[in-house]
A and B are shown apart, each in its own frame.
Chain A
């Protein structure tokens, strides 16, 4: 093991140290913003540097067969269950570690500008540091329980940061919604862990994946159940159908949080989990197809909703759900490297889009604040023409838009194309994969359309912010645009990591991750496409992206848009899309209301008030009083009666004695 890999604990410990210091500062010196920024950003930069150092060791001597496992201490030595607090450093966790620390460091820098005026500045950085700590445990953990600690920890931080402005009731509720929906998924993860332990007697990754081929038969019931339960966990954490509705609501948190947790890192944990457990998923073809199908369905479904949203962050939120669907499609068809590739590129361009939207919201918020107006600073109908006021943000967001839309040369093109190509390549096995490919292609078209729509309405056409507000609009400070520039470089050039097979220097990431995915290769068909087919698919992807962008450019007229307060109400399909296919309403009707009814009528009024209070608490009192009443009837107050009973008793006693 290279020396640097042994220091991997430092990567994890630094953000935790930042959390401790910032947490203490938030109580003791909430106004020491300079100290908070130094610590909060400093630990992340150091953590990223440490991660690079660890990664350099992995690059120099890539582990083959057995990953590097750094054991810190024995955590749960309970009979057959032996779990160590250990980190696993292999190609997959190295990629994730670099993405997490790199993007987090940039977003921490951005936050210094974005949250500058917030009174809870120290608390914000404490939570953000804690999040990175847990996220690193998640991606570096060497066993399911250690990963689960990170999995729950990031869920906690997500809850804390969504409800960061907890004085607002709707924001606090959004936090609760996210937490509860994640708990539903976590239940699946727990069940999967129990099943894995029952079947293999271990929860350590290396043991489980080595034992799996001997213990399970391909497509058997146990392995299918395990993987489906794991995937239930993924749908919660990664916002897939049916548990996706929390993610758009999670936009209640500060925008850098949306960028970090709800776009770049935490929500991709599910993809990471599937890629990490690739041996198990490859042995369960049914589960894998479910993963791919749910991913494709989510990609299309969320993309349709994104078409009609007016809130800039909601567009990006549904776009995230949609892109996560692509990732699951990738790992579902067995293209694990492609899924991780899209995860990486998505982390760049979606973090960029969110941070850019943060700059926009920041600008509008200040403009409305200056004029004491109460308009919605996130509604695109109140934007328009912002490229004249914030050219850097506009230009950098266009880079990300071209990347996510899949314009050739940008990172998203290569990663999305690889997922679609791999899905297409499995079409000869079952026609279902062609259907998935078609769904993915349509979603790609919609992606290009809604992203162009967002850019048009935000940055082009006339300004609709308001005459007085216009002169207060300004470009974000450098501490905010700086991270955007770095992310834009990643969005533009990220494709170089894994070029298509037809280009020279192709598939670097694919080859790099091969030691991790080789266990599953035996169960998957060779995913290979003819060069002609691959060129055709590349051309088709280009055409789809161009079509989406041009259609939006031609069909949408930003000049005719009215500000939010003057806008007419939508009707028909537009309204259905605006209201998100009424999924929230449906969940409300079939889940929330019955649960509320059950809690209110049955559990509260029935069980608590009726049975516990009425029958048990008050009932025992009533019974005691009834017995007492019977006893009190004997105390008639008539002395003669007392004496009569006394004499009667005496006679009976005497009779008994004299017998």
Chain B
């Protein structure tokens, strides 16, 4: 596996995730973009683990566990918001505006 292309893919995926979080309004899609960023980071961990030792592979498992937990909590919040607002548009979720 080539390091350069792997990291390139990782950067592209991460940038797509960032762009999605920044510009999309739907909370579900933002959530998916966050997952995308996490997996982009996972990819770079795997790629770099080949040269820097195996600890990177271990960290990937941690990240996946955290992502699973996050998905459980995050989706529960989404459902709560949807029940409350009948919408998942983040522009309308602004109760904490100063």
A residues less than 8 Å from B90 (CB atoms)? 638-640
Q: Are B94 and A638 closer than 8 Å at their CB atoms?
A: yes
B residues less than 8 Å from A639 (CB atoms)? 30, 90, 93
Distance between Cα atoms of A639 and B95 in the complex (Å)? 11
A-B contact list, 6 entries, CB within 8 Å: A634-B98, A638-B90, A639-B90, A640-B91, A643-B22, A647-B22
Distance between Cα atoms of A514 and B94 in the complex (Å)? 99
Distance between Cα atoms of A640 and B18 in the complex (Å)? 11
Distance between Cα atoms of A633 and B96 in the complex (Å)? 11
B residues less than 8 Å from A633 (CB atoms)? 98
| Minimum CB–CB distance for A630 against chain B, Å | 10
Decide if B97 is an interface residue (CB 8 Å cutoff). Answer: yes
| Minimum CB–CB distance for B82 against chain A, Å | 16
Q: Are B91 and A631 closer than 8 Å at their CB atoms?
A: no
Decide if A635 is an interface residue (CB 8 Å cutoff). Answer: yes
Decide if A478 is an interface residue (CB 8 Å cutoff). Answer: no
Specify the chain A residue showing the minimal Cβ separation from B21.
A643
Q: Are A636 and B93 closer than 8 Å at their CB atoms?
A: no
Interface string of A611-644 (1 = CB under 8 A from B): 0000000000000000000011111111110011
Extra contacts besides A635-B97, A640-B22, A640-B90 (6): CB < 8 Å = A638-B94, A639-B93, A640-B91, A643-B21, A644-B22, A647-B22
Distance between Cα atoms of A634 and B90 in the complex (Å)? 17
Distance between Cα atoms of A644 and B20 in the complex (Å)? 11
Interface residues of B in 27-52 (CB under 8 A from A): 30
Distance between Cα atoms of A636 and B25 in the complex (Å)? 15
| Minimum CB–CB distance for A604 against chain B, Å | 39
B residues less than 8 Å from A640 (CB atoms)? 21-23, 25, 90-91
Q: Are A635 and B22 closer than 8 Å at their CB atoms?
A: no
Q: Are B22 and A637 closer than 8 Å at their CB atoms?
A: no
| Minimum CB–CB distance for B17 against chain A, Å | 11
Interface string of B62-98 (1 = CB under 8 A from A): 0000000000000000000000000000110111111
A residues less than 8 Å from B21 (CB atoms)? 640, 643, 647
Specify the chain B residue showing the minimal Cβ separation from A633.
B98
Q: Are A635 and B96 closer than 8 Å at their CB atoms?
A: yes
Distance between Cα atoms of A4 and B58 in the complex (Å)? 109
B residues less than 8 Å from A632 (CB atoms)? 98
Distance between Cα atoms of A632 and B18 in the complex (Å)? 25
A residues less than 8 Å from B22 (CB atoms)? 640, 643-644, 647
Specify the chain A residue showing the minimal Cβ separation from B23.
A640
| Minimum CB–CB distance for A634 against chain B, Å | 7
Chain A facing B: main interface SS: helix
Interface size class on chain A is 10 to 19
B residues less than 8 Å from A636 (CB atoms)? 94, 97-98
Distance between Cα atoms of A633 and B97 in the complex (Å)? 8
A residues less than 8 Å from B95 (CB atoms)? 637
Distance between Cα atoms of A484 and B97 in the complex (Å)? 90
Which of B18, B23, B30, B98 contacts A635, CB < 8 Å? Answer: B98
B residues less than 8 Å from A643 (CB atoms)? 21-22
Specify the chain A residue showing the minimal Cβ separation from B95.
A637
| Minimum CB–CB distance for B41 against chain A, Å | 13
Interface residues of A in 47-67 (CB under 8 A from B): none
A residues less than 8 Å from B96 (CB atoms)? 635, 637
Specify the chain B residue showing the minimal Cβ separation from A646.
B21
Distance between Cα atoms of A640 and B91 in the complex (Å)? 8
Specify the chain B residue showing the minimal Cβ separation from A651.
B18
Max chain B CB contacts within 10 Å: which of A632, A634, A636, A637? A637
| Minimum CB–CB distance for A17 against chain B, Å | 73
Distance between Cα atoms of A636 and B98 in the complex (Å)? 6
Q: Are A647 and B23 closer than 8 Å at their CB atoms?
A: no
Specify the chain B residue showing the minimal Cβ separation from A629.
B98
A residues less than 8 Å from B97 (CB atoms)? 635-637
The 4 closest A-B pairs by CB, nearest first: A637-B94, A637-B97, A632-B98, A635-B98
A residues less than 8 Å from B23 (CB atoms)? 640
Distance between Cα atoms of A634 and B97 in the complex (Å)? 9
| Minimum CB–CB distance for B20 against chain A, Å | 10
Max chain A CB contacts within 10 Å: which of B21, B30, B93? B21
Distance between Cα atoms of A639 and B31 in the complex (Å)? 12
Distance between Cα atoms of A202 and B97 in the complex (Å)? 75
| Minimum CB–CB distance for A628 against chain B, Å | 9
| Minimum CB–CB distance for B13 against chain A, Å | 15
Specify the chain A residue showing the minimal Cβ separation from B97.
A637
| Minimum CB–CB distance for A409 against chain B, Å | 98
| Minimum CB–CB distance for A639 against chain B, Å | 5
Distance between Cα atoms of A644 and B21 in the complex (Å)? 9
Distance between Cα atoms of A636 and B90 in the complex (Å)? 12
Interface string of A451-483 (1 = CB under 8 A from B): 000000000000000000000000000000000
Distance between Cα atoms of A643 and B25 in the complex (Å)? 12
Specify the chain A residue showing the minimal Cβ separation from B18.
A647
Distance between Cα atoms of A636 and B97 in the complex (Å)? 5
| Minimum CB–CB distance for A109 against chain B, Å | 82
| Minimum CB–CB distance for B25 against chain A, Å | 8
Distance between Cα atoms of A632 and B96 in the complex (Å)? 10
Interface residues of A in 295-351 (CB under 8 A from B): none
Distance between Cα atoms of A639 and B27 in the complex (Å)? 10
Distance between Cα atoms of A644 and B30 in the complex (Å)? 13
Interface string of A372-416 (1 = CB under 8 A from B): 000000000000000000000000000000000000000000000
| Minimum CB–CB distance for A653 against chain B, Å | 15
Specify the chain B residue showing the minimal Cβ separation from A635.
B98
B residues less than 8 Å from A647 (CB atoms)? 18, 21-22
| Minimum CB–CB distance for B31 against chain A, Å | 11
Max chain B CB contacts within 10 Å: which of A634, A636, A640? A640
